[in-house]
Amino acid sequence: MYERKRIIFVVNPISGTSGKKRILQLLETNLDREKYDFDIVPTKYQGHATEIARAASNQGVDIVCAIGGDGTVNETARALVHTATALAIIPSGSGNGLARHLHIPIDPMGAIRILNEGQIRPMDYGLVNEHPFFCTCGVGFDAFISKKFAEAGKRGPLTYVENVLQTGLQYNPETYDIEVEDDSENVNSYKAFLISCANASQYGNNAYIAPQASVRDGLLDVTIIEPFKAIDAPAISFQLFNGTLDRNSRIKTFRCRKLHIHRQDAGVIHYDGDPIDTGKDIDVQIVPKALLCVSSNSEGVLDTATNIQGFIAEHFNEMYLRSEQLLQRNVIKTQRITKLNTDIIRKLSGRKK
């Protein structure tokens, strides 16, 4: 008789935009009970997912499944590296970078289907100043935006885009010295808008910062975006979402297992979108095949048209509400200006109300 595997579902009740109650209902009715026994454990505070996953691994649990966003996935996965317990993901965050790279559907039923298929494969992960990451880490503008995004009251991709548009062209690029593979005799200096070190191909929301990246090749994909003018921004944005950013002449890319970045001042970096302040020196390395993960056979960039259309379809309602809010604010602003002009004319003419 087939021995059922045990799964712990780690649920972040507040992350992302999708309803967790529906996901839990779907698990009750659609998870293959001939394959799995399971328990559901909600997180109660930051870092709790790591504690739950570590305890599960110590107890010999076969799979720990993160139900949440990139932060929940990172917290869960970091406890499972170098263990026999596999990571699974039911994405319900605002970016879902690793799930999208691994072609785990955003639709909960599709994610449960991947789980029922039960294919477990090893994957790489990265370390930046000893902080584990599974998609990307970076320094420069993306780290700066990650900090602003973390401080924002609203979440979601459109909040991210708003922050990018408001601050992108005013951002001051820095100069970085990069040493690759402990080769101190070959240090290159770059003035860069950002430097991204990728294990997986994207930030999330199908924004592909490293279109050729693979979580199974034992290499980091490093992307350096040079400073650019306002006229270049639309093309870079479009290439980011259609998976062709590496073809842009202002983009430098290379692969390595390890690199050291030195900058003039201490500041923020990010790992999987989480910002942290650190010093002038940044060490990044890949750790090959150190995490077991439930996933499909494929990974990486999807069809170009699918990326753009999917983004619009996913976020149509949010875009509509934002446009309505903007329109309403403009109406209110216009009414205030009209009233102010009327009051000024009345005072100048000496008329009373």
In order of start, what are the domains of the chain with their CATH numbers? 5-118 (3.40.50.10330), 135-283+301-306 (2.60.200.40)
Closest to 262 measured CA to CA, from 324, 335, 180: 180
Report the pLDDT value the prediction gives residue 320, as an integer from 0 to 100: 47
DSSP string spanning 93-149? SS--HHHHHTT--SSHHHHHHHHHHT-EEEEEEEEETTEEESSEEEEEHHHHHHHHH
Indicate the pTM of the whole model: 0.81
The length of the chain is 353
User: How far is it, in rounded angstroms, from Cα 18 to Cα 39?
Assistant: 20
User: How far is it, in rounded angstroms, from Cα 108 to Cα 249?
Assistant: 39
User: How far is it, in rounded angstroms, from Cα 316 to Cα 4?
Assistant: 41
The predicted-structure confidence for 287-346, as pLDDT tens digits, reads as follows 999 999 999 888 988 754 444 455 544 544 444 444 455 556 656 766 776 777 677 666
The two three-digit tokens of residue 297, written as one number: 């056979």
User: How far is it, in rounded angstroms, from Cα 70 to Cα 49?
Assistant: 12
The predicted-structure confidence for 218-229, as pLDDT tens digits, reads as follows 999 999 999 888
